[in-house]
Amino acid sequence: MYINCDFKTFLSNFTNNYEIDVVKSTINRIANDIAQLKAIPQCIEKENIKTTNKYNLKYLLNVRPNLVMSAYNFYYKITTNLFLQGNTFIYIQWENGKINYLIPI
């Protein structure tokens, strides 16, 4: 019955697509690979691209985005949310003109 149906119809019959083993292993592999990447923040000034450490963003993206997560956990979570829900949101906590934490919602 499911062979002749559209793939979206097949997935929508389950309450949580993450319960399907094929979907879970695919998302796990992609999120694992993305979480191992290192971010290099850059800014564009008058058509020149320069690496910047403004707002301490390089440290937050590559080491510790918030108090409870490592960079690996942060990237893994936002990648998993992106594939399961179609979007991901990150709350940026500012204090005195400086970014303190990046918190995935």
Q: What is the pTM of this model?
A: 0.75
Look at the block and give the residue holding tokens 């960079």: 71
Q: What's the Rg (C-alpha) of the chain?
A: 18
Tens-digit pLDDT profile for residues 71-104 = 999 999 999 988 888 889 999 999 888 889 999 9
- Determine, yes or no, domain membership for 2: no
**DSSP of 7-71:** HHHHHHTSS-GGGSHHHHHHHHHHHHHHHT-----EEEETTEEEE--GGGHHHHHHT-SBTTB-H
* Residue 31 belongs to domain spanning: 7-104
Cβ proximity of 76 and 66 under 8 Å: no
Count of domains forming the chain: 1
Cβ proximity of 76 and 32 under 8 Å: yes
Tens-digit pLDDT profile for residues 23-53 = 889 999 999 999 999 988 888 877 787 777 7
- Determine, yes or no, domain membership for 60: yes
